[in-house]
Chains A and B, each alone.
Chain A
Amino acid sequence: MEPKRSNLQTDVLIIGSEGAGSRAAIETAGEGLRTLVVSKGFFTRGGASVTADMDINVPSRDAKAIFGLPGDPADDVESFARDMLEEGKFMNREELVLAHCSNAARSVKELADWGMRVEGLVHSPGHRFPRGILSSGRSMMQTLKKKVEESGVQLLENLMITDLLTERGEVGGAVGVDTRTGDFVVIAAKAVILATGGAMRLFPITTAPEELTGDGFHMAYRAGADLVDMEFPMFLPACLYWPESMKGVDFPYLFSVQVGGWWLNKFGERFIGKWDPTRMERGTTRDVASVAQAMEIMEGRGGPHGGIFVSTKHVPDEIQEYCAEQIPWWRNFIYGQFDLVKFGLDPRQVTYEAGPACHYWNGGIRVSQKGETSVRGLYAVGEAQGGTMGANRLSGNAVAEAVVFGAIAGRQAASYAQDAPLPCVSEEQVTEYRERAYQALARENGVDVFDARKRIQKAASEFVGPARDREGLTSCIKEVEELNKEILPNQTTTSKRRACNREWVMALENESMVLVLELIARASLMREESRGAMYRRDYPDTDNGEWLKNIIVKQGDGRAVLRTQPVVTSEVPLPEREKVPYMIPTWEFDKRF
């Protein structure tokens, strides 16, 4: 039996249901527009937002004035923006940074007024002032869920969008698969907002949830949108590499930073001293830490599971226990719902083997300060958008980005859709995209989906981790060519059932992952320097003479076309145009922390 086809219509289609998508939906529905939100998984039970142990950073002055927390009146929007640009190594788009910093406090206040818990203020690494309003992703998502449910938004879960529909360079909706039934869905929409998150699952070790496989990047790219800064996937250092069952879990980093833990190589050396001798483990930023750890491992000074060692055993139990009681997500050494004592992973007794895990997507779909992409009617918000964070995201900025730009792009998309006619759906496009969506299911013999996934992830881990070089990147591009020629067109699912077929979803995701792998490799090869989250072993300096430029990529004639664009700022001065060593702390950590 042929899969059923549903034809839907809406004013605004939002792809992705969590922090950024929900926030945008509240805005578009509030403007009276028909809003359809689709989620690849279950609402509030998927995506990155719900996993955040979060601090949402706002200007410290506002933390005091608006929330009554012990913020510092010396901090303001400009100094927050300066920290983001300096720690983003000036790759950020300044207009996005200013929009982020000037709207963050308002957006958090709004969430708090709607019911999100506020639990205190923290001072996160890389920030000059204590700016982190402490809450949790769960509390935020419960709050947003209630608002979304009240706002008359139509929600479709288990719907995986596979392609955007376009007509003369304008977006006109999307097509996808209802993974619960296996049926095909065609959605005509006046405006589309991508809130699909990053592509961290490209890497075999990641802190990110299952869904984040770069689908939004793939569909935006295929629709002709510009992507930017794709060479800067962000890694979180010191995430578990062992046991196998808990790979990528991030508590060794979070906790070791809190209590003064050490990161050691197999000779027992605190190697971070070679990279960031002033700030060391507790104060260094996550880009440098990940590069330092990756280099120890790649140069053969790691442990038996391919990681480095993280230890807090030198810290007396009493201090560890005292700190544990202070931190809401670490009480009784229970992290999330992992009881670490029960798992035999009590930090008072165990040295962890850990290392970089892909954590966040600094780059993404290139947007204006209103969330507009280069395709008319198409918007990108939250982690899917590129340009806010530059080459390195500061702690506690992802959630703010999601809600700030969710609201901004929501308003913008609403005003665009107000005046736009309902687009015609091109049946030619629908047929082509439908064929692509069902091909792995239809094919009788071919490449196993799991084998394909492993091969893709192996290439990512080997060639485009935090530390790269020309040889690896060239091999990576060759591997991508092979994957595009031999693997992707031959993927086949073992199970042919359409309903709830996880393998089929993986096959579709694999296509997005290979594109993202290619874009990272090509942009990294072009950038002949080291900056933020990207370290080139063969170009170890940060070259502010040549490389105060962003790399922008779009599809042209069926291949990736890269161009550079110089960074321009008006408020925050750019650094001297000279080559500097990769790691120079831009300010003295110990003065304020």
Chain B
Amino acid sequence: MAPGERNAELESDERIIVHVYRSPPQETEDTGEDGRFQEYSIPRQDRMTILNVLDHIHEHCDRSLAYYKSCRIGKCVGCVVQVDGKTRLACTTLAKDGMRIGPAKGYRIIRDLVVEFPVRGGSSKGGPDAAEQ
């Protein structure tokens, strides 16, 4: 057996419902007012985090979902989201039935749950054009 290979099926049949913010389909700037919360029903996993929920939706429900993740252990703080009105890290917050997951407050929305983090002297604003010769 290879390391990490499970010898038993351990998933339950139980499902949870979550609501996730989606930007409008057109490629215009999303001010946060034009999007809507989409409902998803997904199977519950043991100690499932919000990031696990987003991964599941992306792989199995909608490949166009935009979200950001990097370290998965609460250190890079890139996966910050708004959950039921509170600022939380998706990777270290346990998922609950009925949760509303939106983009982090106070940042410009890039798309769905991806927001722009301010960098001084950086490009965040202009994209590559800022450096164009």
Contacts and interface: CB of A to CB of B under 8 A. Distances in A.
Interface residues of B, number: 56
Contact of B1 (A297, A343, A497): A297
A306 B1 CA distance: 7
Interface residues of A, number: 81
Given A185-B128, A209-B70, A500-B114, A493 B63 contact: yes
Interface string B38-53: 0000000111110010
A338 interface: yes
A115 to B, nearest CB: 15
B123 interface: yes
B75 to A, nearest CB: 5
**Most B-side CB within 10 Å, residue of A180, A181, A204:** A180
A279 to B, nearest CB: 22
A450 to B, nearest CB: 6
B92 interface: yes
A461 B131 contact: no
Contacts of B69: 210
Given A43-B122, A306-B1, A306-B6, A154 B131 contact: yes
Contacts of A181: 127
B132 A45 contact: no
Contacts of A148: 121
B34 interface: no
B36 interface: no
Chain B, interface SS category: loop
Contacts of B133: 7-9
B2 A461 contact: yes
Interface in A155-202: 155-157, 159, 178, 180-181, 183, 185
A157 B69 CA distance: 14
B47 A209 contact: no
A50 B79 CA distance: 14
B75 A137 contact: yes
B117 A180 contact: no
Contacts of B87: none
A493 B64 CA distance: 10
B76 A501 contact: no
Contacts of A153: 121
Contacts of B122: 43, 149, 154-157
A154 B1 contact: no
Contact of B123 (A7, A155, A355, A450): A155
Interface in A84-140: 137-138
A306 B2 CA distance: 7
Contacts of B74: 336-338
Given A157-B119, A302-B1, A245 B70 contact: no
Contacts of A241: 3-4
A211 B71 CA distance: 9
A241 B1 CA distance: 14
B124 interface: yes
B74 to A, nearest CB: 3
B121 A465 contact: no
Contacts of A247: 4
A47 B77 CA distance: 12
Contacts of B4: 204-205, 241, 247, 305-307, 355, 461
A501 B120 CA distance: 26
Interface in A309-345: 335-339, 342-345
B71 A6 contact: no
Contacts of B111: 499-500
Given A245-B46, A336-B74, A499-B111, A149 B121 contact: yes
A6 B132 contact: yes
Given A155-B121, A156-B123, A181-B127, A243 B47 contact: yes
A569 to B, nearest CB: 34
Given A178-B127, A304-B8, A497-B64, 11 more contacts: A8-B128, A51-B71, A138-B75, A156-B131, A157-B119, A209-B76, A297-B1, A302-B1, A356-B3, A461-B2, A461-B4
Ordered nearest first, which 9 A-B pairs have the shortest CB separation?
Answer: A337-B74, A45-B78, A336-B74, A500-B66, A155-B122, A495-B64, A494-B63, A495-B63, A149-B120
